[in-house]
Amino acid sequence: MNPMPLPKRYVILISGRGSNMDALLDAGLPGECVGVVSNRPEAAGLAIAAARGIATHALDHRAFASREAFDAALADLLEGLQPNLILLAGFMRILTEGFVLRFEGRLLNIHPSLLPSFTGVHTHARALAAGVRLHGCSVHFVTPALDGGPIVAQAAIAVAHDDDEARLAARVLAEEHQLYPRVARWFLEGRLRLDGERVVLDGEKPVPGALHAPRAD
């Protein structure tokens, strides 16, 4: 008789409130969240996770002499938790190459733009300034290049003529809360993997047609 396979283990990294963390925990993912880790002990998301019965860990990056020293400590902490998947959910740290390579293929991040456009911060203001008609969010595997890893999935919204930064950000965030749990589920179900620089998703279906924005007909 074959033993039942152990559930996949995942860890969520945050720096603040952790609304994407909440969305992931609400999604009933096919795995066990074995920890929420923040580089800021004051992050509100730590208390929220603890109230949900999730183990939390604060590792203050300001207490370390270098980025490399912090990343080494974070890597050791994560290795102790033995995650199959590490989900960056508003984790506002640029990770060193050594850290990324140590967990290659197990690191996912959500970014509030349609990558490769608007890497980094202030994405919504920059999208409005550029006059783009479509904006959105992207989930990608993490590589040493900032926001430059292979893209798994994206969600796009049309930019309205009267959008300001706050309204646009809120609408993109709502899409993030739908997209990120979907991608995490694919990974934990064993359907999603990174093959070199190529994303492989078993059962992927083609999407017919195209989105045109704006429309005036």
Enumerate the active-site residues.
111
Closest listed residue to residue 106, CA positions, set 85, 79, 91: 85
Q: Between the CA of residue 40 and those of 24, 58, 66, what are the distances in Å?
A: 20, 6, 16
Q: Residue 100, SS3?
A: helix
The conformational region for residue 52 under phi > 0 = left, psi -120 to 50 = alpha, else beta, is: alpha
DSSP output for 11-38: EEEESSS-HHHHHHHHTT-SEEEEEEEE
CA 106, CA 59: separation in Å to the nearest integer? Answer: 20
108 and 141 in contact (C-beta within 8 Å)? Answer: yes
Neighbours of 106 (CB within 10 A): 18
Q: What span, in angstroms and rounded, lies between the C-alpha atoms of 95 and 27?
A: 27
Secondary structure letter of residue 61 according to DSSP = G
